[in-house]
Amino acid sequence: VSTQSTWGDRFRAAAPRLPGLRVLRQDPKECLFSFVCSQNNNVRRISSMVERLCTRYGKFIADVDGKRWHAFPSVAALADADEAELRDLGFGYRARYIVTAAREVLAFDKEIGGDWLGSLRDPAIPDLEAVAALQRLTGVGRKVADCAALFSLDRAGLVPVDTHVWRIAREHMGAGAPAALTPTAYARVHHLFDAALGPRCGWAHTVLFAAELHAAPAEKASRKRTKTAAKTPAQVKRARKV
């Protein structure tokens, strides 16, 4: 990772605070469908949804201390899942994405006579070509594709951009402040990370993203205190009455 510029300083400051953080080489199927569940969601709810997916559709592994453990479902099991049942399990609009994308993956497997998702690990395939292939699946946009590619397809130079990363880029990397994260702005954020942190900027981004999440509650509380301090005693009194 390049340590030139103040962004290198931010990385050096963040990394020691997260000694257990690792970027895993996950199974592409499990990674992809877990990130499909992540859309417009928080970490706790995503974890709960993935656990429900495993419990309902995954193969039973073992009972450990009274808790039953299941493997992540096969793509075939997800393709056979009932959308209505998934909605009842709390997946909402993602139910259609899961079932349809699973059927599309099976169709691509049949088309190439093998593991289509696994084939996207081929280093001869450019990163953006692998991302574009993933985006052929229903419910898979640029961010989900980047996540799946970074965490399971050996694409260490990809930077998934969500609201946290977008804020980092705007506040600390000179990405500007357009009203929305457009495709052009998304590409600019990736360019800024690549220029600041080098060809493994996706891995470095994960450290900075985790540091941002850890800092978020404290920063939110600080902003609340600052906002309250800026009010007059009369304003505070009226707010308490309400």
List active site positions. Answer: 143
Is residue 1 helix, strand or coil?
Answer: coil
